Amino acid sequence: MQFTCLVILMASNAVGVLSFCFELLFVILQLPFSSVLPSSTTQGFSIQEATVYDLQLAFQKKQLSSKQVVEFYQKQIETQNSVLRGVLELNPDALAQAEKADEERKSKAPGSLSPLHGIPILVKDTITTKDKMNTTAGSFALLGSVVPRDAGVVTRLRKAGAIIIGKATLSEWSHYRSVAAPDGWSARGRHGKNPYTMDSPCGSSSGSAISVAANLVAVSLGTETDGSILCPSDSNSVVGIKPTVGLTSRAGVVPVSPRQDTVGPICRTVADAALLLQTIAGIDTNDKATIIASKYIPKGGYAQFLRKDGLRGKRLGVLRYFYAFGNDTFLHETFELHLKTIRERGAVLVDNLEIENIDEVYSGPSEGIAVAFEFKSSLNAYLKDLVASPVRSLADVIAFNNKHSKLVSAWEYGFEKVMIGNKLDAVVVPCASFSSVLAIGGYPGVTVPAGYQNAKPHQDHLQYHMLPCTVYTIIAKHKQIGTLTSATLVNPSHNSRVPRVHPLSRATTHRMARA
């Protein structure tokens, strides 16, 4: 089975962006509303494929408890994780936290709790949690280390009443241990599997995407330096948002590049991603970049911008540089269909745009050289801040891996010129191919599924996993922040979502269109 992924990459050289995109996104992907799969509670509610909205409604109707949700996902993980390897470890206190959430719900007035209250969330194993779980970036070198505090985003999740159910697998050290290592591999987690195809899940936030796609959890957090949210979300047919750098705190996250690192949601629906993003966005005094970015966060959060008419009047640029599909008529026809749909929904498409010096981003060494320098200094600072750790520097980590080998600028100007000169709200690009442009400039991006093809998969890796996707990149005029507004595209020929296919899955029904 091949599938198409609709990717939405948004750019904003200042910060916020995510308000325009939620209107945009809500019109770019119509995602499922309720599911008719097995695994129902005694009250008849099915947890499998349920969204945050579904779960909260079931809580209100007393059809479901947080404890039941946690138990369901723990069982899913027990059954499927030995094959998929999306989850690295579970939180031994998750059930106790769920019981606490259930008691709080009984004593609080309806509507007074956060939308994420009592919802289990999986976080990437680079995001620190001050609890009984490890934070190791997938490496045995950090096993047993003690972190000084929760990561900034985890603090916000706990305050909202969310339950950290466990840590997701990843490409070790966010795919910075070795360029030769396969996507989704780490010494601790071994090799994660794409639940659709049972091969590469892309990375580095592989486990976060695998787990959401396979119903091991409803929502998750990943991190991105260059493509690490967008690519696995693309490959595993889920929704990923790469926020503008500084919109979400990186404090307490194992770093790669302070200039490019960001933390964002990986979910099954745009609506869930919006809820998770508005929960984790905001000021953290331990990350100075959030202070500047916070002034662009819309009052009331991002979910308010989930509107079906969000594309009307928006100017979207089409960068044909990324549409070189060759003789693959399926890809060409699918993307043209999406562009037609976008026009029909009221957007103005500015076609055949070009970014000056775009080849420098993809063929030049500048980004790699800069990130290599930043990785060493930022990782050393992170390791020194740990309360206890087997390693205290990058040199220590390299020595550990050697000892235990068996275990283990021109572009920016051109981009802004295209956006501002054409008065664009977004740029439309296929798949995660635009990630380097966004990464270097700190711009945000969103990826959402676009459709499926029921045919024998091509043997070529890229064709096999990364069939049609569409990317929207948003940059505000004069470097001010655009507001990400919604996103839901109705694909006329693909109005249902194909379930994940792997040996242990019983999922047999399509995801129905969801607003």
Residues carrying an active site annotation: 124, 204, 228
Radius of gyration of the CA atoms of the chain, in A: 21
Residue/partner pairs of 394-402 with CB below 8 Å, 24 or more apart: 396/141, 397/139, 397/141, 397/173, 400/139, 400/140, 400/141, 401/139, 401/141, 401/177
Phi then psi dihedrals of residue 37, to 5 deg: -95, 170
Give Cβ neighbours of residue 340 (< 8 Å, ≥ 6 apart). none
**Matching residue, tokens 């209100």:** 60
Structure tokens at 65: 């408890």
Q: Is the dihedral of CA 495, 501, 506, 508 positive or negative?
A: positive
How far CA 466 is from CA of 202, 358, 469, in Å, comes to 10, 21, 7
| 3-state SS class at 287 | strand
β-bridge partners, 127: 253
| 3-state SS class at 222 | strand
Percent helix, strand, coil in the chain, to 5, is: 35, 15, 50
Structure tokens at 313: 């009047």
Answer whether 296's CB lies under 8 Å from 289's CB: no
163 CB neighbour count, 10 Å cutoff:
27
Calpha distance 65→50 (Å, rounded): 13
How far CA 34 is from CA of 58, 307, 465, 510, 511, in Å, comes to 11, 19, 26, 10, 8
| 3-state SS class at 90 | strand
Smallest Cα–Cα separation from 386: which of 45, 90, 157, 145? 145
How far CA 303 is from CA of 23, 25, 155, in Å, comes to 9, 11, 21
